[in-house]
Amino acid sequence: MITIIYRLLVVYVIGLVGWNLFTEKKLTAQMNCAMVLIPLVLRALMIK
């Protein structure tokens, strides 16, 4: 149960970081967002 809740929480944070990725104007800030997204997406998919 707690695993599912945490996966949902990770998905929520992914959504927020992704939203920021598309609203950021600076390329370096977008790169920063993308970098944060990588482990979160892998965690949500339970790949790692």
Partner 1 sequence: MSIELITFIVMIAVFLLGCFAAKLPVSISMVLSAISGALVAGQGIPLRHLVEGMFSYVDTILVIATAMIFMKVIQESGALDAIASVIIERFHKVPALMLCMIMLIIMFPGMITGSSTASVLSAGSIMAPVLMMMGVPIVETASILAMGGILGMIAPPTNIPAMVIGAGIDIPYSGFGLPLSLLTFPLAALFVLMLGYKHVKKMNFLEVQAKLNTESRKKFGLKVYIPLVLAIVLMTLTKLVPAFSIGMPLVFLISAVAGCFTGYKINLLKVSKDSVNSVLPVMGILMGVGMFIQIMTLTGVRGFIVTTCMSLPEWARYIAIAVSMPLFGAVSSFGSASVLGVPFLLTFLAQDEIIVASSLSLIAGLGDMMPPTALAGIFAAQVVGMEKYTPVLKKCFVPCLIIVVWGLLFIAGANILEPFIILG
| 7 lies in the site for partner 1, by CB under 8 A | no
Q: Does 38 engage in binding with partner 1 (CB under 8 A)?
A: yes
CB of 31 to partner 1, least distance (A): 6
> Residue 10: which residues within 8 A CB-CB, separation 6 or more?
40, 43, 44
Q: Are 34 and 21 in contact (CB under 8 A)?
A: yes
Applying CB under 8 A, the residues found at the interface with partner 1 are 2, 5-6, 9-10, 12-13, 16-17, 19-20, 28-29, 31-33, 35-36, 38-40, 42-43, 48
